[in-house]
Amino acid sequence: MNLRLALLLSSLYISQGLPSGFFAHALPTLLREHGVSLTLIGLAKLLALPWFFKFLWAPMVDRIGAGKHSHYRRWILLMQSAGLLALAMLSLLRPENWFSANLPWFLLAALLINTCLATQYIATDALAVKILPVQQRGLGNSIQVAGYKLGMLAGGNGLLILMASIGLHDGFRWLAAGLLLLMIPVLLFHEPVAQKPASDKAPPPQEHPLHEHPLHEHPSHEQRVTLWQEWRPLLALPGMRLWLPVLLTYKIADSMASGMIRPLLVDAGFTLERIGTTGMIASIAGMLAAFAGGLFERWLGGWRALFWFGVLQAAGLAAWSLVSLGWHSEQAVLGIAIFEQMADAMSTVALFAGMMGFCRAGHQGSDYTVQMSLFMVASGTLGLAGGALAEWLGVPLFFLAMGGLALLCLGWVARAMRISGTPAINKPY
């Protein structure tokens, strides 16, 4: 992979991670500081609804502008610009009134930002699948995870540290400035026009009417395609029956537990600055682990990587129970945070690499997005209950239960590996 392409992908995923870091890391911390219950903190994940349902408009991203220069690049620039405007609107609100008088405006701005990010994600993933050779997809996913974590580091933990000196209001201005700088590699990139293989024949209209009738041609009622018709060929791909249960369950435990980690540290008496510093060091370790995960994924094979990285993920989640039982020393908390972030990064790389292989030529955006949406709907829906479950079980037992649940879900991976008889997950289509 050349340096220019690596910089492009890095900038795209960092830009997605910046606002996401605030919602995933900084916001739960601030909510707990304001005395919000764990149940309501868990329900705050409803702000991520656009991520759950982005598959509904993913085909539109593939269709509008298809066959033209800068197809996905135009979508990316449009969504980045719109996200900046929504972020600017949020920065105009007084942070101390976010959860009181300005709550409706805060929720609106948050939903707009997440909608723009979700749509940009569709175009970015489609572009990555389009321009990355099969043998470089593991490295591409390493860049994806590392870049996203770097963005989350700055937008979450970095913002918490900045709050101690310049305040949240000015911190948002720096966030917006960072997003503007990250648009430069996109502006300088020239996206190639997709070329069909010589052997590729145009499908019959009844099979793929979506691609026979661009939006401006206004197809008849009989010719219009349903979402099910568009995605049925994806779900019929060889190996998909083995892949779907893994996709739906692999990150459920992580989703339920991740939103409770920073409230746990707040309850343990950690300052915002200390929480931010710990999270930043752990995130850097996670980024390094993401690159290692890409290399190990190629060496181990997809199924084996998913299994062993999943074991590490389960151990990392269970380890947080030690903090809730009184392990409050800086060394103990930092060690647990680093281990958990490294395991999370490596397991995510393996999962995303598998998703890329189940993408049909010409349908990269919608195919990858529908998988991502299925994954996020399953993990995100149950993740909403994480706070309520933590209050019901108690925090120590909750994190132990999440580690056990993560191990239990690995049964699907073991079954798929046994049935397939190969460490490879899939092949390109």
pLDDT of residue 176: 80
- Predicted confidence at residue 41, as pLDDT, reads 82
The pLDDT value given to residue 401: 95
Closest CA to 252 of 407, 415, 363, 417: 407
Fill in the DSSP letter of residue 135. G
Q: Which residues contact 151 (CB under 8 A, 6 or more apart)?
A: 13, 14, 15, 16, 17, 18, 20, 21
Confidence (pLDDT) at 174:
79
Q: Which two tokens stand for residue 301?
A: 């094979």
Cβ-contact 409, 249 below 8 angstroms: yes
Helix locations, 45-166, DSSP H: 49-52, 58-63, 71-91, 103-131, 137-152, 159-163
Q: Six-digit token pair at 303? A: 């199924």
User: Tens-of-pLDDT digits for all 429 residues of the chain?
Assistant: 677 778 888 888 888 888 788 888 888 887 787 777 888 888 877 887 887 778 788 888 888 877 677 788 888 899 988 888 887 777 777 766 666 677 778 778 888 888 988 898 888 888 887 777 767 766 777 787 778 878 888 888 888 888 767 766 677 777 788 888 888 888 888 766 655 444 444 444 333 332 333 333 333 333 344 556 666 777 777 777 888 888 889 999 998 998 889 889 988 888 888 888 898 899 889 888 888 887 777 777 778 888 899 999 999 999 999 998 888 888 899 999 999 999 998 998 888 878 877 777 667 667 777 788 788 778 878 888 888 898 899 889 999 999 999 999 998 888 877 776 555 565 544
Distance of CA 350 to the CA centre of its chain: 13
Measure the N-to-C terminal CA separation of the chain; round to a whole number of Å. Answer: 21
The vertex-60 CA angle with 54 and 62, nearest 5°, equals 100
Q: How far apart, in whole angstroms, are the C-alpha atoms of residue 53 and residue 36? A: 27
What's residue 253's pLDDT? 92
For residue 270, give the amino acid letter. Answer: F
Give the residue among 300, 289, 293, 335 at the shortest CA–CA distance from 316. 335
pLDDT tens sequence across 95-107: 666 666 777 787 7
For tokens 């868990």, the residue is 42
Structure tokens at 268: 């343990």
Q: Do residues 238 and 429 make contact, with C-beta atoms less than 8 angstroms apart?
A: no
pLDDT at site 209: 31
What's the pTM value of the predicted model, to 2 decimals? Answer: 0.67
In 3-state terms, what secondary structure has residue 409?
Answer: helix
Instruction: Provide CB contacts within 8 A for 135, sequence distance 6+.
Output: none
pLDDT of 163 reads 75
Contact 294, 351 (CB under 8 A): no
pLDDT at residue number 57:
85
Q: Which amino acid is at 343?
A: A
Tokens representing 111 are 């939903």
**Could you count the other beta carbons within 10 Å of the beta carbon of residue 206?**
11
Q: Which residues of 274-289 are buried (b: 16+ CB within 10 A; e: fewer)?
A: bbbbbbbbbbbbbbeb
Q: How far apart are CA 411 and CA 301, in angstroms?
A: 17
User: Which pLDDT score, from 0 to 100, does residue 364 have?
Assistant: 66
For 185, the token pair is 């590699």
CATH of domain 3-192+226-420: 1.20.1250.20
Per-position DSSP letters for 270-335, written without gaps between them = --HHHHHHHHHHHHHHHHHHHHHHHHHHHHH-HHHHHHHHHHHHHHHHHHHHHHHTT---HHHHHH
Report the SS3 class of residue 347: helix
Kindly state the tokens that stand for 118: 């979700």
Q: Which residues contact 357 (CB under 8 A, 6 or more apart)?
A: 134, 137, 302, 425, 426, 427, 428, 429
**Phi/psi of residue 422, nearest 5 degrees:** -145, 150
Per-residue pLDDT, 226:
56
Distance CA 113, CA 179 (A): 12
Give CA–CA dist 165/161, Å, rounded. 8
Q: Which residues contact 153 (CB under 8 A, 6 or more apart)?
A: 17, 21, 279, 280, 283, 284, 287
Q: Which residue has the tokens 């041609």?
A: 217
